[in-house]
Amino acid sequence: MLRVPTSGKRLLSALSGQSVSPPPIWLMRQAGRYLPEYREVRGKVASFLDLCLNPELAADVTLQPLRRFDLDAAIVFSDILIVPYALGQKVEFIEGEGPRLEPVRDARSFALLDRARAPDLLAPVYATLERVRAALPPAIPVIGFCGAPWTVATYMIEGGGSKDQAEARLLAYRDPELFQRLIDLLVEVSIDYLLGQVSAGASVLQIFDSWAGSLPDDGFARWCVEPTRTMVRRLKAEVPGVPVIGFPRGAGVLTEAYVTETGVDAIGCDTSLPLSWISDRLQPHIPVQGNLDPVLLLAGGPSLDRRVEETLSALGGGPFIFNLGHGILPQTPPEHVARLISLVKRG
């Protein structure tokens, strides 16, 4: 049985600039390894990518957290690295290690990327969305997402996760022309991908720029803000009613420029942004989302309760969506998630 949230379209109201009490809540990585039922489904397929590409199982996994918790949105189960996969790059997820890709670092490997087959390769994600949309009550929106071009480019260039994105920055500095061609390609394929997700039933979009914090201000303007601005402008032209949440993780004080220059409808705040700064500098201009420390959710106990109260009193008076400052950690006890949601819903 799916829980029907107590007061309808709370997420969309908050995204349109209204203060909603209690605030809507969803959690980044709300589907995933911390849920035993996820681990069970994951055990049925050989690889993580196989799960993302299996609409029946991916839809089931998407719905799992909504069966347990009073969440205000579903987020389609997939990964930001599905886009490099759709461009023909070799992408694998190694158990216990993370993603591994065949690096793109020169004109030759860039030339192998091919946009033509992307719609077919991404079709399973659209099928997942259609299933999820059909299974949920109309009041619960489904969030579609992609990685921002910069963040996806870092994985494509590094060949996986990295601690400082140095190879990606090096390519951007040494061969800005090639790097720009990669960003431009990602802008185009990501716009198509997000529009495909809207056609399949997504009514909110989030752009994850998880590595926005690794660029200096000029690089941030050129490779985070500018491509995102292009994407938002095109999305607004095609699907004007669909709000876009930007999540430039680690952007710090540059978050303000990101808000004014990209045109996103709401701003995802990471854990490092102070609550008072979010409420003074961001919330007067834009709905804010965030930013509980995922490690505090893992810890639970009185410090979790206290911080949830502080967050609600700092941000609950304006347009606000409760979320974490980054994804749920796999070791998180599901009871802590239940506790968090009950505290937020108590308002």
For ligand 1CP, which stretch binds (CB under 6 A), given 79-87, 108-116, 173-181, 258-266?
79-87
**Judged by CB under 6 A, does residue 93 bind ligand 1CP?**
yes
125, burial (CB in 10 Å: exposed 0-12, middle 13-18, buried 19+): buried
| CB nearer to ligand 1CP: pick between 29 and 307 | 29
For ligand 1CP, which stretch binds (CB under 6 A), given 9-17, 29-37, 231-239, 255-263?
29-37
**Judged by CB under 6 A, does residue 334 bind ligand 1CP?**
no
Buried b (16+ CB within 10 A) or exposed e, 186-225: bbbbbbbbbbbbbebbbbbbbbbbbbbbbbeeebbbbbbb
Q: By CB under 6 A, name the one of 53, 63, 75, 245 that touches ligand 1CP.
A: 75
10 is catalytic: no
φ and ψ of 142, to 5 deg: -105, 130
Q: By CB under 6 A, name the one of 14, 15, 35, 79 that touches ligand 1CP.
A: 79
**Judged by CB under 6 A, does residue 31 bind ligand 1CP?**
yes
Cα separation of the two ends of the chain: 24
Structural contact between residues 208 and 247, judged by C-beta atoms closer than 8 angstroms? yes
Q: By CB under 6 A, name the one of 327, 329, 334, 339 that touches ligand 1CP.
A: 327
Q: What is the maximal distance between C-alpha atoms in the chain? A: 57
88, burial (CB in 10 Å: exposed 0-12, middle 13-18, buried 19+): middle
270 is catalytic: no
Total site size for ligand 1CP, rule CB under 6 A: 21
Tokens 């990209």 belong to 262
In the complex, the smallest distance separating the C-beta of residue 226 from ligand 1CP, rounded to whole angstroms, is: 20
Q: By CB under 6 A, name the one of 80, 202, 251, 344 that touches ligand 1CP.
A: 80
| CB nearer to ligand 1CP: pick between 69 and 77 | 77
In the complex, the smallest distance separating the C-beta of residue 332 from ligand 1CP, rounded to whole angstroms, is: 12
| CB nearer to ligand 1CP: pick between 130 and 309 | 130
φ and ψ of 235, to 5 deg: -65, -40
Q: By CB under 6 A, name the one of 7, 16, 33, 175 that touches ligand 1CP.
A: 33
**Judged by CB under 6 A, does residue 69 bind ligand 1CP?**
no
Q: By CB under 6 A, name the one of 42, 234, 281, 339 that touches ligand 1CP.
A: 42
42 is catalytic: yes
* Pairwise CA distance, residues 222 & 46, whole Å: 39
Positions that interact with ligand 1CP (CB under 6 A) = 28-33, 42, 48, 75, 77, 79-81, 93, 98-99, 145, 161, 208, 210, 327
Q: Residues with catalytic annotation?
A: 29, 33, 42, 79, 155
